[in-house]
Amino acid sequence: MFLIAGEALIDMVATPAGDYRPVAGGAPFNFARALALQGMPASYANPLSDDPFGLLLKRTLAASGATHLGRITRRPTSLALVSTDHTGHPHYSFYRDGVADRDIDAATLIGFDSSEVQGFHTGALALVPPDDPSVLAAAHHFRARNVLCTLDVNMRPQVAASMGIEASRYRDAALSMIGCADVVKVSDEDLTHLGYTGAPDTSAATLLERGPKLVVLTLGSSGGWVISAQDKVFQAAYKVEIVDTVGAGDSFFAGFISFLHHDGRLAELRKHAPPAAVLAKALRHAAACAAINISRQGCQPPTWEEALRWQAG
């Protein structure tokens, strides 16, 4: 199974009528759902609340075919107020004090049986200090046991700032985690927050020096790159009518990882990157998954079969 650690929260999505609609969300939570829908065993590790929102998260996870391995706690569910601009791009305000999904430590993550774990995934708010040591310790633990580690950097500087965390401390935490991952996904915005000022594909390539075998770079509507020490492969974004982009990156990365899984390539990633032809196919599948998701409201990732049919036309 893939073990996923990080936030699970309720996105309170602004509607045209001026009220808010509760939707299950959180980048790692969305990734777990998207991965399961792509036919991979996926398990979410963080606690969920016993409040009504926590029950909604648990039902949503189960409906996608993913499992919940974490505890049920009396702490409340995290909330995020979400509004979208004219391009469908979401803007978030987070409420994260004393919440259920943060009630986890390194010992809990390390306590999962590594013989049953094919991959460990984290990112986003889990990288914001003071939460980062738990996922960093887990990544070290699983890598020492030859478990693949994947990371979606997905930086949220506004959350760190609201908690009084210095930008440099947050940046260092993210860079440390990049050094523990085999596959890293970053956006052009992430690279800016990490302090890179050059061309995004050039900046992304420098992350390979920290240890990853692959860096996946997303550029929104411009498409994306996958970069290894040997190859750089580009895929343009598919043209679709955008409803909103919530969960697009999570669907994209899950599609990429799931293609490598179905192609029998994940095990070798601990040692070396797949050839360019395989990376190109994985990137096309990822782009299709993102395109399907953004044509729907909220995070609604496709199934494996649905993404294949969509590509076939």
pLDDT tens across 58-98, in order? 999 999 999 999 999 999 999 988 777 766 667 778 889 99
Token pair recorded at residue 121:
């995934």
Q: What is the pLDDT of residues 197-256, one digit of tens each?
A: 999 999 999 999 999 999 999 999 999 999 999 999 999 999 999 988 889 999 999 999
* pLDDT score, position 149: 98
Band of pLDDT at residue 15, cut at 50, 70 and 90: confident
The predicted model scores a pTM of: 0.95
Sketch out the chain's domains with CATH numbers.
Answer: 2-312 (3.40.1190.20)
Percent of the chain clearing pLDDT 90 (strictly above): 85
Q: What is the pLDDT of residues 143-194, one digit of tens each?
A: 999 999 999 999 999 899 989 999 999 999 999 999 999 999 999 999 999 9
Mean pLDDT, the chain, integer: 94
